[in-house]
């Protein structure tokens, strides 16, 4: 399947992107900064799942950003949409087969760390997988990666340090912390937020972890960002809507876009 997808993409582009970008809910703006050479609807790509959530546009963009050849997904696949873990992570397999070695990934997330506030950008330093599933379950394809991938450093310390230097130069405040993934689509109860905070998570979301696991399986370097779109403090919890999540993500997005672009430039 990967070979067929890549063969198709090769008919549309001769680019050899070294950087892959996956953008989260309300965070697609980085795409505007890419000098696009080729834009392909997911629906056209053999074996690619099709995006169902309205807030995602569903396009693969190949072009240059900060002088680097990049491939970006505008819109990603979520487990809660009913896709299998294999489908959710398929684009990361394809990116690697195209030559991508570095993956930049973003998401909208609820923040539980009381020192964070709405609109903050957090560098993901580590994650907790509470999806109850794993994209590597099943026979291992040894040509893609090892049976038991090491997860001692899923998010590259080197890239985290680079992002921190960039943020300092651009005067953008960055938080750092642990991302926990749940399936959704429900938001969490107060008791769940309290639990997630207790087990060591700073923010919670419904994506990213599957893609990162597959990236690590394939020895890719990962840099992950969460935008804290809502404050999930159990004793002061207010209802949150998708509209609010998107509005806050859109507001914080220019800062994130600036940081991600400059990181790519300095890679
Ligand atoms: N929980 C899970 N996912 C989210 C949240 C949340 O509170 N906010 C944005 N994505």
Q: Copy the structure tokens of residue 250.
A: 């859109």
3-state secondary structure of 199: coil
Residue nearest to atom 6 of ligand 1 (CA): 110
Q: What is the pLDDT of residue 53?
A: 56
Confidence at 189, pLDDT banded by 50, 70, 90: very high
All structural domains of the chain with their residue ranges: 2-266
Q: In this predicted structure, what is the pLDDT of residue 115?
A: 96
Q: For residue 74, is pLDDT > 90?
A: no
Burial class (CB in 10 A: 0-12, 13-18, 19+), 250: middle
pLDDT digits (tens, 9 = 90+) for 11-45: 999 999 999 999 887 787 898 899 999 999 998 99
- Closest Cα to atom 7, ligand 1: which residue? 110
Per-residue model confidence as pLDDT tens digits over 135-150: 999 999 999 999 999 9
Give nearest CA residue, ligand 1 atom 10: 109
Mean pLDDT confidence for 182-187: 96
Q: Which helix (H) or strand (E) holds 36?
A: strand 35-41
Residue 182 Cα: closest atom of ligand 1: 2
> Candidates 245, 248, 251, 253: which one to mutate for ligand 1, based on the most atoms within 8 Å of Cβ?
245
Residues 80-113: tens digit of each pLDDT: 999 999 999 999 999 999 999 999 999 999 999 9
Q: Residue 245 has what pLDDT?
A: 86
Q: Say if pTM beats, i.e. exceeds, 0.85.
A: yes
Mutate to test the pocket of ligand 1, among 184, 231, 243 (most ligand atoms within 8 A of CB): 184
**Whole-number mean pLDDT of the chain?**
94
CATH: 1.10.10.350, 3.40.50.1580, 3.40.50.2300, 3.40.50.1000. Which one for 2-266? Answer: 3.40.50.1580
CA of 108 to the centre of ligand 1 (A): 7
Give the pocket of ligand 1 (CB within 6 Å).
Answer: 108-110, 184, 187-188, 204-206, 229-230, 232, 245
Helix 2-12 to helix 85-98 angle (10° resolution) is 50
Q: What is the pLDDT of residues 232-246, one digit of tens each?
A: 999 988 998 888 888
Residue identifier of the C-alpha nearest atom 3 of ligand 1: 205
């Amino acid at each position: 399947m990967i070979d067929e997808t890549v063969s198709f993409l090769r008919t549309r582009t001769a680019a050899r992107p070294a950087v892959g970008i996956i953008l989260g809910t309300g965070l697609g703006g980085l795409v505007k900064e890419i000098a696009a050479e080729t834009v392909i609807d997911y629906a056209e790509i053999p074996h690619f799942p099709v995006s169902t959530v309205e807030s995602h546009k569903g396009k693969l963009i190949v072009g240059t950003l900060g002088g680097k050849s990049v491939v970006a997904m505008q819109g990603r696949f979520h487990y809660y949409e009913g896709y299998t873990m294999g489908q959710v992570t398929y684009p990361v397999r394809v990116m690697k087969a195209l030559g991508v070695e570095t993956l930049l990934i973003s998401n909208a997330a609820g923040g539980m760390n009381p020192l964070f506030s709405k609109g903050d950008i957090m560098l993901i330093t580590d994650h907790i997988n509470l999806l109850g599933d794993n994209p590597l379950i099943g026979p291992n394809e040894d040509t893609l990666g090892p049976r038991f991938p090491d997860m001692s450093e899923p998010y590259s310390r080197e890239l985290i340090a680079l992002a921190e230097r960039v943020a300092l130069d651009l005067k953008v405040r960055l938080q750092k912390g642990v991302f926990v993934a749940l399936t959704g689509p429900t938001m969490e109860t107060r008791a769940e937020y309290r639990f997630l905070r207790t087990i060591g998570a700073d923010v919670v979301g419904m994506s990213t972890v599957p893609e990162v696991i597959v990236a690590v399986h394939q020895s890719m370097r990962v840099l992950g960002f969460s935008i804290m779109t809502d404050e999930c403090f159990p004793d002061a919890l207010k209802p949150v809507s998708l509209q609010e999540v998107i509005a806050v993500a859109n507001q914080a997005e220019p800062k994130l876009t600036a940081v991600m672009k400059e990181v790519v430039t300095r890679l």
